[in-house]
Amino acid sequence: MKSNQEELQALVPDTRLAGKTALVTGSTSGIGEAIARVLAASGAEVVVSGRSADRADAVVRAITEVGGRAHAVVGDLGGSASEVRRIASAAEAALGGRVDVLVNNAGIYPVGPTADLTDADLDAVLATNIRAPHVLVASLAPAMAERGSGSIVNIGSWMARVGVPFGAAYTASKAALEQMTRTWSAEFGPRGVGVTTVAPGATSTPGNAESADVLAAMTAGTVAGRPVRPIDIAFAVRWLVSGEAAFVHGSTIDVDGGIAAVRLG
C-alpha cells in the first residue's frame, strides 16, 4: 500500500475536471491539501485556502510545478462572518469571477471531555465547523444555482453518527454539517447544484502524526485494517464533483474503511 505522499506524487494528470474552478478550505495540509492536488491534477483551477501563507504557497507550488493551476487565499474561517465572506470574494476574484466547486473541508476538532472544553474552544468549533460553511454556501451557492451548475462537498466525520464518550461539540458540528447537506441539496439541487458529504474515518494526517499508535489501534479491527489516507478522501471528492455523480444528491458517502458500519468480530 502506497503512502499518501507517494500517491500524491504519482498522480497522473487528466482532463475530467477541465474548465472547472474550485475553492478548497483548509487545504494547506492533510485532507484539504490532498483534495486540492487531486482536483488540480484532473484539470480544475484551484484556490488553496488556510491561515498560513507559507503553507498555502507550498501547496500552490506543488500543484503548479506539475502543470496545474492554483492560487493562495489566506484567511481565518474561525473569524467573523465578514472575514469568511471576504475569503469567498477573494476566491471568486482569483478564479476569474466564478467558483464551480466548493469543498468545505476546514475544521477544528477538540475531542476532550465535555467538562474540559473551554468556552473559547466551543465558540471556535461552532464558528469554524458550522458558521463558516454556512456563510460560504450563502455567498457562493446562489451564483452556482443561477448558472445552473455547481458542486458543494462538505467534509464530515464517521463520528457524526456514532456515540463516543468524548468530543460532543465536534461530533455535533459534523452531524450539523450532514443535515445542512440535506437541506442545501433540497434548496439548491433543483437548480443544478449537487450537494453531498464525504465522511472520513480515522484518518492519518500531519496534524495527528503523534497519535499514529492510537489510529492504528482504532482501525485494526476495521475491514481496511488501517487508517484512511487523505488521498482516499480526495478521490471520493473528485468523483462527486464530476459528471459521473450527477444523481448523487444530499447523500453522505462514508470513506472510513468500514469503521462506522461493519464489525468483524
Return the number of other C-beta atoms located less than 10 Å from residue 251's C-beta. 18
- Is 49:73 a contact under the CB 8 Å cutoff? yes
Question: Which position has the grid cell 470513506?
Answer: 255
Residue 145 burial (CB count, 10 A): 17
Catalytically active residues, by annotation? 170
Contacts of 135 (CB under 8 A, 6+ apart): 81, 84, 85, 88
Work out the angle at residue 195's Cα, subtended by the Cα atoms of residues 192 and 198, and round it to the nearest 5 degrees. Answer: 150
Total Cβ atoms within 10 A of residue 184: 22
The sign of the dihedral angle between the CA atoms of 49, 50, 53, 55 is negative
What's the alpha-carbon Rg for the chain, to the nearest Å? 17
For residues 157 and 172, what is the distance between their CA atoms, to the nearest angstrom?
10
128, 106 in Cβ contact below 8 A?
Answer: yes
Beta partners for 157? none
Q: Is 211 exposed, middle or buried (0-12, 13-18, 19+ CB in 10 A)?
A: middle
143 exposure class (CB count in 10 Å sphere: 0-12, 13-18, 19+) = middle
CA separation for the pair 117, 179 (Å, rounded): 24
